[in-house]
């Protein structure tokens, strides 16, 4: 299911990342690759904040929907 549906505080594993090549590659460079562990830290205005590879990353809701976990 998309990352947006994960509850705050839950940990999950990335299954796939959708979207066009450039965005997907950039997400991969930042650590969003199949198999990576993601913790949803908080839901905020317009998007979510997650922990990936030990860093805090903010994503807008559209982008978060493309990350399947």
Partner 1 sequence: MKIALAGNPNCGKTTLFNDLTGSAQYVGNWPGVTVEKKDGILTGHKDVVIQDLPGIYSLSPYSMEEVVARSYLVNEKPDAILNIVDGSNIERNLYLTTQLLELGLPMIVAVNMMDVVRRNGDKIDTAKLAKALGCPVIEISALKGEGTKEAAALAMEEAKKGVQNERPHVFTGSVEHALAHIEESLHGNVDKASSRWAAIKVFERDAKAIETLGVPTDIISHVEDHIKDCEKEMDDDAESIITAQRYVYIQKIVGECFKRSPRKASTTLSDKIDKFVTHRILALPIFILSLCVMWWLAVADGGPGTILTDWANDGFLGDGWHLPFTMHESKAEGKYKGMDFEAASDAFAREDASKSAWRDAYKEAYDKKNGEGAYDKALEAFNEKAEKEFKPEKDGDEFEKSEFEVLDEAVAKTVVAKEVFVEDEETGEPKAKECDCEKCAKKREAGEECEGCGCGCGEPEKWNVDYAAYQKAAEYEEPEPGDFGVWVPGIGALVGDALDKIGVGETVKSLVVDGAWGGVATVLGFVPVICIVFLFLSFLEDCGYMARVAFIMDRLFRKFGLSGKSFIPMIVGKGCGVPAVMAARTIESERDRRMTIILATFIPCGAKTVIIAMFAAIFFREMWYVAPLMDVIGIAIIVLGGIALKKTRAFAGEAAPFVMELPAYHMPTASGIVRHTWNRVKAYMLKAGLIIFPACVFLWFTMHFDWGFNLLADEEIERSILHDMGSWIAWLFAPLGFGTWQGAAASVSAEIAKEQATATLGLVAANMEGASTAAHVSNLFGSMSAFPRLAAMSFMLFNLFVPPCMVAIAVTFREMGSKAWGWLAVAFQLFVGYALALSVYQIGMLVAGGGFGVWTAVAMLVDLFCLWMVVRPARKAA
Helix (H) or strand (E) holding 23: helix 21-29
For partner 1, give the closer residue by CB, 41 or 68. 41
Which parts of 13-42 interact with partner 1 (CB under 8 A)? Answer: 19, 21-31, 33-36, 41-42
Q: How far apart, in whole angstroms, are the C-alpha atoms of residue 26 and residue 52?
A: 14
Q: What are the two backbone dihedrals, phi and then psi, of residue 8, each rounded to the nearest 5 degrees?
A: -60, 135
* Interface with partner 1, residue 60, by CB under 8 A: yes
Binding partner 1 by CB under 8 A: which of 12, 63, 68, 69?
63
Q: How far apart, in whole angstroms, are the C-alpha atoms of residue 19 and residue 39?
A: 21
In the complex, which residues of this chain contact partner 1 (CB under 8 A)?
19, 21-31, 33-36, 41-47, 49, 52-60, 62-63
């Amino acid at each position: 299911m998309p990352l947006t549906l994960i509850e705050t505080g839950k940990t999950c594993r990335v299954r796939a990342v959708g979207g066009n090549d450039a965005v997907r590659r950039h997400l991969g460079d930042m650590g969003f690759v199949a198999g990576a562990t993601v913790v949803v830290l908080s839901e905020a205005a317009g998007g979510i904040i997650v922990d990936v590879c030990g860093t805090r990353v903010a994503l807008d809701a559209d982008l978060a929907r493309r990350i399947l976990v």
